[in-house]
Amino acid sequence: MDDGGVARLCAAALAALSDARSELVAGAGVEWQGSAAERYRDVVEDLLAALARVTRRLEHARGLAAEAARTAVAGPAGTAGAGGASWAG
């Protein structure tokens, strides 16, 4: 996998997160009245807030991954292309 793959994985994860949030929002919009419906909507609201935080963290992580990918391509300063690069986990 080349280093751009991490950013692509992050993008795919963000898209899936967006789908999940859309489904939850649509589910909360169904015609349903009463105290149970209010509790359900409260649960969905909390879950959406948590997913929003997850999304922000993931976007931050994607930014870091993109930066790491650029560093990996450019190499440390002055050593790009000299010798073989060693991989560390």
Partner 1 sequence: MGRVADPGGPGVALPPTVGALHVRGGVAGTRATLESIAAAAVRADRAVRSLAAAASCVRRAAAHPWPAAAHDAGHAAAAALAQVDRGDSGLAACADRAAALSVALGTAVRTYEDADRLARARVEAIMVVGGARTGELGPKGWALLALLGGRALTSMATYVVALRAVRCSPGIAGVLARQAPDLSGLPGVAGWLGGAVTTGDGLLPDGLGVPYGDDAELTILWAASFALGAMPGLWRPNGRPVEELAARLTLTGHVAARILGLPERQLVVAPLVGGSGRRSGGGSGGRRPGEERAPQGVGDVVAQVAALGDEPQPTIAVQRLDHADGTRSWVVSVPGTRSMDLLGGENPMDNTTNLALMAGLPDDMTEAVEVAMLRAGVGPDEPVLLAGHSQGGMVVTRLAASLQGTFDIDAVVTAGSPVSSMPVPDGVAALHLEHAQDAVPALEGRPNPDAANRTTVVRDLHLPPETFAGATLGTQPDDLIPVHEAWRYAETAALVDGLDDPSVRGFREVLNGVLGDGTARVTTQEYAVARLPVQGPDPARLKTRGG
**Binding positions for partner 1, rule: CB under 8 A:** 1, 3, 5-6, 9-10, 12-14, 16-17, 19-21, 23-24, 26-28, 30-34, 36, 40, 43-44, 47, 50-51, 53-54, 57-58, 60-61, 64-65, 67-69, 71-72, 74-76, 79, 85-89
Provide the minimum distance between the beta carbon of 75 and partner 1 in the complex, in angstroms, as a whole number. Answer: 5
DSSP per-residue codes, 7-33: HHHHHHHHHHHHHHHHHHHHHHTSS--
| Burial class of 21 by CB neighbour count within 10 A (0 to 12, 13 to 18, 19+) | middle
